[in-house]
Amino acid sequence: MNNSFLRISIWVYLAIFFLYLLGPLVIMSITAFNSSGFPRMSPWECLTFQWFGELFQDQRILNGIKNSLIIGIGTVILSVAMGLAGALLLTQIWPKLRATYYTIIIAPILIPGVVLGISTLVFWDRINRMLGLGADSFLSNGIFLTVIGQSTFIASYCMLVLVARLQRYDMALTEAALDLGASHAQAFRKILLPFMRPAIASAAVLAFLASFENYNTTTFTFGEYPTLTIELAQKVRYGITPAISALAFIIVALTVFFALMNEAKLKRQELVAAARKNATVEELASKIKLPSFFAGNMAAVLLVVFAVATITVVGTAATYNPAQCIADIREQKQLEAEQRIQELRKQREERRKQQEAQEAEQGGGQTAPKPSNNSGFGNVFAPNSLGGDENEGEDGASETETAPTSNSGFGGVFDPNSLQSDE
């Protein structure tokens, strides 16, 4: 009972983990086939491939991909070379200095990418000024600065990969080659380099992927050569379309394809190595045939399924026309919008009628209020409050109509005669 519960718990945990890890990628990949103008999976409208066409017509995205490839290749060459040199030096340096050297060579990984980008830009700008070069010189070129800035920390990743492989190398092979008359360059090229080739390939792939997706360092150094990540960040800032989802789907598909290809190749090498030990040439040939090869290689089966699915999608995209479906969706949206407008008009009319009925109920049985001079301040500001007490005659005219008055309403304080002395 406990074993069954533990097994179920592990499977549930793995399902939640992979759902959390791969769920956003799956959702974004699905949005690339929805005809909605904004990347979304629900509500689903029509199956379309138009976003892939718009992706390949976007010059900014294509220019970003080109710059990313150029910078990635340069970063791979520089980072792998520095990483291999660092790994060789780490295995041959004095043991008491090995820990210090390892700390120094790993330090760029711990430094934030923003700091590396700013420091790279400032350093090479000072060098450029010291040499008296202009702003358009090679040292101020965005590709050069980006390659240098990214290589400062990617080389450390490459060194870690190469050190792991180099620790299994037998230095006696190099010593034997030197004893037999080979030079150091020949020993390196014919003995050490073939042994390090798998690790070099892995480090190159790691360096290229790290360069391709880097943003923190690149944002300070790209200059006039924005990479794909820079272009995507700018598009997300000012509004995105499902064309970005199409790009994400292509990247995910290529990653899965090459991962399955590599896994199938490794599995084939294992099968061949096992067959060489315990089988003859005829049995070895039978092991490598397709039925037996697919039977023991799940990655190869998935690779074939993936290839068939890709061919099916491409063939469907070439013949499928979603114009009618999109037209129906637009018509349905228009009808829904008109229906919504009518509902809003009805609600507004009902509220107006209710308001009129309430005003009629409140106004019934009440007479119009008479105008009053009472301003609410005790008649202080009434028109007649500023004049003195005057009696009107029978004809309605004032008895003192022509007589000037000095009463200003403030107790005669401001009477002009009050300023004169008593005579």
pLDDT 10s per residue in the chain (423 long)?
678 888 899 999 999 999 998 888 889 888 988 888 888 888 888 888 888 888 888 898 999 999 999 999 999 999 999 999 999 998 888 888 888 988 888 999 999 999 999 999 999 999 999 988 887 888 889 999 999 999 999 999 999 999 999 988 888 888 898 888 888 889 989 999 999 999 999 999 999 999 999 999 999 999 889 999 999 888 887 777 888 889 889 988 888 888 888 888 888 777 777 767 766 555 555 555 555 555 567 777 777 887 888 888 878 877 778 888 888 888 888 898 999 999 999 999 999 988 888 888 887 655 555 555 555 555 555 555 555 444 444 444 444 444 444 444 455 555 555 444 444
Q: At what angle do helices 228-238 and 59-92 cross, to 10 degrees?
A: 130
In the numeric block, which tokens belong to residue 416?
Answer: 């002009």
Strand partners, 34: 47
State the pLDDT at residue 399: 43
Determine if the peptide bond prior to 39 is cis (ω within 30°). Answer: no
What pLDDT sits at residue 390? Answer: 44
Distant-in-sequence contacts of 197-203, Cβ < 8 A, 24+ apart: 198/165, 199/161, 199/162, 199/164, 199/165, 199/166, 200/80, 200/84, 200/162, 202/161, 203/79, 203/80, 203/83, 203/84, 203/157, 203/158, 203/161, 203/162
Determine the Cα–Cα distance for residues 182 and 174; give it in Å rounded to an integer.
Answer: 9
Rounded to an integer, what distance in angstroms lies between the CA atom of residue 159 and that of residue 81?
Answer: 9
Q: Residues of 225-242 as b/e, b for ≥16 C-beta within 10 angstroms?
A: bbbbbbbbeebeeeeebb
Structure tokens at 242: 């499902």
Helix (H, G, I), strand (E, B) or coil at 272: helix
Structure tokens at 183: 């030079």
Q: Kindly write down the DSSP assignment for every residue of 141-185, as one continuous string.
A: -HHHHHHHHHHHHHHHHHHHHHHHHHTT--HHHHHHHHHTT--HH
DSSP state of 297: -
* Residue 319, pLDDT score: 79
Residue 382's SS3 state is coil
Q: Is the pTM of this model over 0.85?
A: no
Specify whether the CB–CB gap between 230 and 215 falls below 8 A: yes
- pLDDT for 389 equals 47
> % helix / strand / coil in the chain, to the nearest 5?
75, 0, 25
For 112, the token pair is: 């934030």
| Best CA proximity match to 162, nearest among 104, 220, 201, 119 | 201
Question: Max CA-CA distance within the chain?
Answer: 150
pLDDT at 373: 54
